[in-house]
Amino acid sequence: MINAQDIKNGTCIRLDGKLYYCIEFLHVKPGKGNTFMRTKLKEVVSGRVLDRRFNIGEKLEDVRVERRPFQFSYNEGDHYHFLNQETWDDVTIDKALITGVDFLKEGMVIEVVSDASTETVLFAELPVKVELQITYTEPGIKGDTATNTLKPATVETGAEVRVPLFINTGETIRIDTRTGEYMERVR
């Protein structure tokens, strides 16, 4: 158990039977009345954000989470197999628990967050930026750099990304895995 005033960014708590981690907090001292903590909590499973206010001294159930690197091996339908980088154990993670799964390629190392007490996987995150090669896109025309027009392109993982007109098949691009947007061309 922790006190409400001990909540910081990244603190994971159990509230109403669900796991939340703090993404924003503010210690508020009004002119009248008691001090309190204003927090934004993100539900681990669904990603829903909740604004919650806690009185100072209120007890909350603390959950210890562990972040470990896992290497992607292969997938069978919606079940993805990973190797723990420390123990080399094979772990299966459901597709719904992996953020940015469309940009996951074989051998990529991702971060898996699990509940330390029960060893259950809460979610898995790809790196924020990944570099992927374009397998197909319509040919670009020299000089097509003046406008902000985008065209569809398929990357090596099979995902479709919108890219600028000057990008061609065979080039490597950097993608933001949170939004799925093109960031830049890798030279």
pLDDT tens, position by position, 63-86: 888 888 999 988 888 888 999 888
CB 134 within 8 A of CB 154: yes
Which helix (H) or strand (E) segment holds residue 33: the answer is: none
| Residue 85 near residue 73 (C-beta atoms within 8 A) | no
**Residues 9-34: tens digit of each pLDDT:** 878 888 888 888 888 899 888 888 88
**DSSP secondary structure string, 99-157?**
ETGGG--TT-EEEEEEETTT--EEEEE--SEEEEEEEEEPPP-TTTTSS--EEEEEETT
Arithmetic mean of pLDDT, 75-101: 85
Provide the 3-class DSSP secondary structure of residue 56: coil
Separation of CA 93 from chain center: 14
Which of the four pLDDT bands, split at 50, 70 and 90, describes residue 38?
A: very high
Type of residue numbered 49? V
DSSP 95: G
